[in-house]
Structures are given as structure tokens and as C-alpha cells.
Amino acid sequence: MYPGFSSEELVNSYPSSLQLQLVQVFFRHDWEGCSLSGQFRELVNTVLKPGETPSFRAEIKFGGGKAHECAPGDLTDIGVQSTNHLGRDIRQLYVDHLQFLPERLTGSEVLHLRSTRYPRTFLSLQSVVNGLYPPERRDVRLETLPIVIRLPEEETLLPNEDFCPRLRHLLGEFLARTAKKWNRSPELSKLNNLAPAAMGLKKGIYLDSQPNIADLRDSIAAAMAAPSVRASVPPPFRDQDIRLTLQRIAAEQEHIGFADSAEPPQNRPLRLSRHDNWDDLDISGDYEGSSMALAPIYLIPYGGIV
């Protein structure tokens, strides 16, 4: 999916003895540095014809002159650009190299678009589709593409603990178990020799503290993804080993319990790789997917309250 694949890597990843039948792309963005993104021209231009200029512009003002002009997690120019680039990368691999998808989009049956109910996921999904199939690569008869959503109490793209007390209890157990394993580990001891001074904290940072390891990891990831604020990341947290440790612990906290618990549905594992847009880290793992294919490619943004 990512640019720069060599011919050998393509052959190894997609051997000729196998036939590709379904692609599921999950992507997420989190970014709250809105004051650094300037005016949202890029976001507006993605829904206008080239050369058109919007006739109005919305301004959000706060009485106290806040530094951030939008809610945490709202999509900004950085989010639009990165998701649009993702769409282009998908096109490069699945249209140009593998010919798995058609050169031109003539019907909505090629894509299955699934989203959570948050506005930024709709915008990011639109941006990915614009990269995969820009307007000049779509049939003029395709005025709209359907996006599938579910009611909040039936949502499955996110751990839905708000509507499932048992899942909420299990997630608490998963956190407690992971905290017991890592809170007194040498890795966190090393981190806590650096974190308080670098972050201005009076105490150390742990899986079950406030802020916690996941908060720290997400903050560093967001800052490292934005050139305009990357320099603000304290030097200790730019260290590759530190970031790998944060990534490993945060991923284990969120996912390891589902692999060990007997309660979740029977797994149908698909092998996937997770690439962070703030680094070249490649964290591979299993995804509990579905064997039901409605379209050759699923595009699924997801995100909750950040």
C-alpha cells in the first residue's frame, strides 16, 4: 500500500499463486493542533472544482481568545493531506500495480464505505476517496457514494463499552492486568527517569495514571506527525527505543486481552501491519475480520472522542 514497494516486495506480498479477493483499509487520525493549520483552504478545496473559490468562510471565535480553534480530534489541513495521500497510495498499489481495482470508478459497488458517526471520519473518508478516485477518475453519473453507519448502541468499529457493561468490565480487567505487568518494569522505570522532568510532572506516568501511557504515546505521535510542532517534543521522547516501548505498551493495553479472553467471538484472523504516520514503525498483528465481502475494497475510518 505504501509507496516505494520494490518489485520483489510486491511479488512476496502478493504471490501469483494466490488471488486477491478483498481489501479492508482501516485508518485513523488524531490531531488537535488546529491553531497551527491556518485557514482550512485544503478542506474546502477538496469539495470544490479546481480553481473555484468559496463564497463564504466560517470563523469560530472564543471570548478568551483560545489557542485552538476546534475541538480535539477535528480534521484540519494536516488530516486532509495525509488521508488524501493514503488514497493515492491505495490507488498506486491496487489500481496501478495490481490492477485489482478498475482505473475508473463507474459504479458504487466497487467500494464499501463504512464510517463511525463522527464528522471528522466522514471528512477523512471523503479525502481518501478523493485520492483513490479523484473526480476526473469517476463516472459523471456518480453523484454520490453511500457511506454505511450504525446506531451508537450497535457500533462495532470501536470498543463499544458505553453500551455494553460487560465489555466495560473486561476492558478494566485488561488494563489492570497490563498495568500489573508493566508498571514496575525496567522499561517504565527508564521512561519515568525522563518523563517527569521532560513533561513537568510531579509523579511518574503509568498505564493507570492521569495522564497515562496511552495519552503520552498519542501526544507524541500527533506532534511528531506535524513538522510545525515536532521540535516541541522533548528530546528524550524522540528516541526510537522510547517510542517503540510506548507503542508496544499502548498496543498491548488495548488489544492483548481480546487474544486471551474466551468471551469475544471466535477469531477469524487476518494478518495486517500497522504503520504510524509519525514514523516508520511497523507493528504487525491479527485483526478479527469478516469473511463476508460486499465489495472488493472496504474503506473504514474510525475514531472516538479524543
Same domain, 124 and 33: yes
Cell reading at 297: 475494497
CB-based burial label for 75 (10 Å; 0-12, 13-18, 19+)? buried
Same domain, 28 and 100: yes
Same domain, 133 and 228: no
Same domain, 138 and 170: no
State residue 3's pLDDT score: 58
Q: What is the DSSP letter of 92?
A: I
Distance separating alpha carbons of residues 209 and 191, to the nearest angstrom: 14
Distance separating alpha carbons of residues 66 and 274, to the nearest angstrom: 34
Same domain, 134 and 23: yes
According to DSSP, the residues that pair with 304 across neighbouring strands are: none
Residue 55 lies in a domain: no
Q: What is the DSSP letter of 153?
A: G
Domain that holds residue 116: 19-43+63-149
Residue 57 lies in a domain: no
Residue 156 lies in a domain: no
CB-based burial label for 116 (10 Å; 0-12, 13-18, 19+)? buried
State residue 264's pLDDT score: 54
Distance separating alpha carbons of residues 37 and 84, to the nearest angstrom: 16
Residue 204 lies in a domain: yes
Same domain, 139 and 227: no
Residue 2 lies in a domain: no
∠ CA 50-53-55, rounded to 5°: 145
Same domain, 143 and 35: yes
Identify whether the C-beta of residue 205 lies closer than 8 Å to the C-beta of residue 183.
no
Residue type, 143: E
Residue 53 lies in a domain: no
State residue 50's pLDDT score: 52
Number of structural domains (the chain) is 2
Same domain, 145 and 178: no
Number of Cβ within a 10 Å radius of residue 175: 17
Same domain, 25 and 68: yes
Cell reading at 274: 500497522
Same domain, 117 and 38: yes
Same domain, 34 and 125: yes
Distance separating alpha carbons of residues 247 and 46, to the nearest angstrom: 32
Same domain, 171 and 100: no
State residue 183's pLDDT score: 94
Residue 113 lies in a domain: yes
Residue 306 lies in a domain: no
Report residue 31 CA to chain centroid gap.
11
Q: Spell out, as residue ranges, where the chain has pLDDT lower than 70.
A: 1-5, 28-74, 262-297, 299, 301-306
State residue 268's pLDDT score: 41
State residue 259's pLDDT score: 73
